Amino acid sequence: MTSPKDLSQNGRYPAGRLAFPHRDLTGIGQLERHEILFLLDEAEQWIDLNRQSHKHNDALAGLTIINAFFENSTRTLLSFEIAGKRLGADVVNMHAAQSSVKKGETLIDTATTLNAMRPDAIVIRHGSSGATQLIASKVDCPVLNAGDGSHEHPTQALLDALALRQALDARGEASEDFTGHTIVICGDILHSRVARSNLLCLQALGATVRLCAPPALMPAGIEAMGAEVFNDFDAALDGADVVMMLRLQTERMSGQFIPSEREYHHLYGLTKKRLQACAPDALVMHPGPMNRGVEIDSEVADLIDQSIITRQVEMGVAIRMACLDVLTRSARGLEGWTA
């Protein structure tokens, strides 16, 4: 744990490599509060770059990044690809359907093969929890977790925190954290790596987090992680400042967890009427992809002054640029970041 005397002059985090001493980013659970703040602050510069007509920086020029996605993705893969290219890196995308994994190659063999190609960073998305940590233990370069099973999705939690911070700042509620804010995460909590990473991230930044789901979709013992647990959506929404909706991950379900999508929407769908139970002007979030008419109504998802769903997508590129930049600084020999 970092002591106050070790902090840099801004008081938020240590200087140089001590601000983020990790080689990999495999989960929010590995991070301290000041390390989360550091990544969010680092992303701010890339927000500005991404809003310019010339969206390019040569910070990672000459470096090779492999996006190894063993699980289908559109927005996460595209976001990481854009992030790497805007930083000037050579980006290679590897899809599982085109890899030797489909021919019976083990994950360890794949990691060894990728490592032999001497990449400077590897971004991993895999359907099995712990797969990214396993690969990280077998390669010589930084590994970023782009989602592993039902375990974690750290960059999603970071981009959500950045989007929320930006939205609150635009309202004149600027603060370094979310102390005093109540955030509801509702949906398929059981299968959601996004929910787990967000719970860890938001709590680290001072927020009160309420989790809401049908009993069959609520992990047993989740209260131990400090969340307030609800099965009644209307009760969970009472006075909330932010509502984050999650989709039903039917691809991870074996058996029947809900009676029907219609019944689910009746009990757990975010409607304009339901939103009235929240604090005035409560913010609406969704990590995507959305199932409109199931977990969220279109008139709520598209609320101009309250929905920050498109802002979340925008922040995804900036936070992934920040992560790629920070994790490759040692390899680039930057002052204060060499071992």
- Pairwise CA distance, residues 245 & 292, whole Å: 11
Looking at residue 25, its pLDDT comes to 98
Residue by residue, pLDDT tens for the chain (339 residues) are 333 334 454 667 888 899 999 999 999 999 999 999 999 999 999 999 999 999 999 999 999 999 999 988 889 999 999 999 999 999 999 876 555 565 557 888 889 999 999 999 999 999 889 999 999 999 999 999 999 988 999 999 999 999 999 999 999 887 889 999 999 999 999 989 999 999 999 999 999 999 999 998 999 999 999 999 999 999 999 999 999 999 887 565 455 567 688 888 999 999 999 999 999 999 999 999 999 999 999 999 999 999 999 999 999 999 999 999 999 998 898 988 876
Looking at residue 74, its pLDDT comes to 86
Alpha helix stretches (DSSP H) within 171-297 = 193-204, 233-237, 261-268, 272-275
Q: What CA–CA distances, in Å, run from 312 to 143, 244, 272, 280?
A: 23, 11, 21, 21
Are 4-149+315-327 and 156-307 equal in CATH topology? Answer: yes
Residues 6+ apart with CB under 8 A from 248: 187, 188, 257, 258, 261, 264, 291, 294, 295
Q: Helix, strand or coil for residue 68?
A: strand
Looking at residue 62, its pLDDT comes to 96
Look up the pTM and report it: 0.94
CATH number of the 4-149+315-327 domain: 3.40.50.1370
Looking at residue 3, its pLDDT comes to 38
- Pairwise CA distance, residues 251 & 40, whole Å: 32
Angle at 296 between CA 293 and CA 297, to 5 degrees: 60
Give kind and range of the element (H or E) at residue 44.
helix 33-50
Question: Could you report how far apart the first and last alpha carbons of the chain are, in Å?
Answer: 20
- Pairwise CA distance, residues 237 & 81, whole Å: 36
Question: Across-strand partners of 211?
Answer: 185, 229
The two structure tokens encoding residue 196 = 């787990």
Listed by start position, the domains of the chain span: 4-149+315-327, 156-307
- Pairwise CA distance, residues 34 & 302, whole Å: 33
The domain defined by 156-307 folds into: Rossmann fold (3.40.50)
Looking at residue 243, its pLDDT comes to 98
